[in-house]
Amino acid sequence: MSKISRVIARQVFDSRGNPTIEAEVFSGNLSCSAICPSGASTGTYEAFEKRDKIKRKYLGKSVFKAINIINNKIAKKLKNKNVHNQEKIDTILINLDGTKQKINLGANSILAVSIAVKKLSAKIKKVPLYSSFLIKKNFKLPFPMMNIINGGAHSNNGLRIQEFMIRPDGAKNFSQAVQMCFLVIQNLKKIINKRGFSTSVGDEGGFAPMISKNEEALNMIVQAIKKSGFKNGKQISICLDVAANELYKKNKYSIHSNKYITAEKSVNLFKKIITKYKIKSIEDPFAENDWKSWNMLMKKIKKVQIVGDDIYVTNLQRLKIGFLNKSSNSILIKLNQIGTVTETLEVIKFAHAIGFSTIISHRSGDSEDTFIADFAVGTNSSQIKSGSLARSERVSKYNQLIRIEESLGKKAKMNKIH
Which residues are marked as active site? 204, 334
Angle (CA) 328-48-343 rounded to 5° is: 55
Q: Is 46 in the site for Zn ion (CB under 5 A)?
A: no
Query: Minimal CA–CA distance to 9: which of 48, 65, 57, 80?
Result: 65
Q: Which is nearer to Zn ion, 41 or 121 (CB)?
A: 41
Which of 24, 241, 366, 405 is in the footprint of Zn ion by CB under 5 A?
241
Q: Is 241 in the site for ligand PGA (CB under 6 A)?
A: yes
Q: In the bound complex, what is the minimum distance in angstroms from residue 284's beta carbon to ligand PGA?
A: 7
Q: Is 369 in the site for ligand PGA (CB under 6 A)?
A: no
| Selected range binding Zn ion among 106-114, 198-206, 234-242, 389-397, rule: CB under 5 A | 234-242
Rounded distance, CA 307 to CA 294, Å? 10
Q: Is 309 in the site for ligand PGA (CB under 6 A)?
A: yes
Rounded distance, CA 139 to CA 136, Å? 8
- CA of 35: how far to CAs of 24, 81, 104, 219, 236, in Å? 9, 21, 19, 37, 32
Q: Is 90 in the site for ligand PGA (CB under 6 A)?
A: no
Please tell me whether residue 136 adopts helix, strand or coil conformation.
coil
323: Cα separation from own chain's centroid: 20
Q: Which does residue 364 touch among Zn ion, ligand PGA, none (CB within 5 to 8 A, set by kind)?
A: ligand PGA
Q: Is 14 in the site for Zn ion (CB under 5 A)?
A: no
Q: Is 369 in the site for Zn ion (CB under 5 A)?
A: no
Q: Residue type for 286, please?
A: F
Q: Which does residue 318 touch among ligand PGA, Zn ion, none (CB within 5 to 8 A, set by kind)?
A: none
Q: Is 361 in the site for ligand PGA (CB under 6 A)?
A: yes
- In terms of phi and psi (left: phi > 0; alpha: psi -120 to 50; beta: otherwise), the region of 250 is left
Q: Is 39 in the site for ligand PGA (CB under 6 A)?
A: yes
Q: In the bound complex, what is the minimum distance in angstroms from residue 361's beta carbon to ligand PGA?
A: 6
Rounded distance, CA 66 to CA 10, Å? 10
Which of 12, 40, 261, 390 is in the footprint of ligand PGA by CB under 6 A?
40
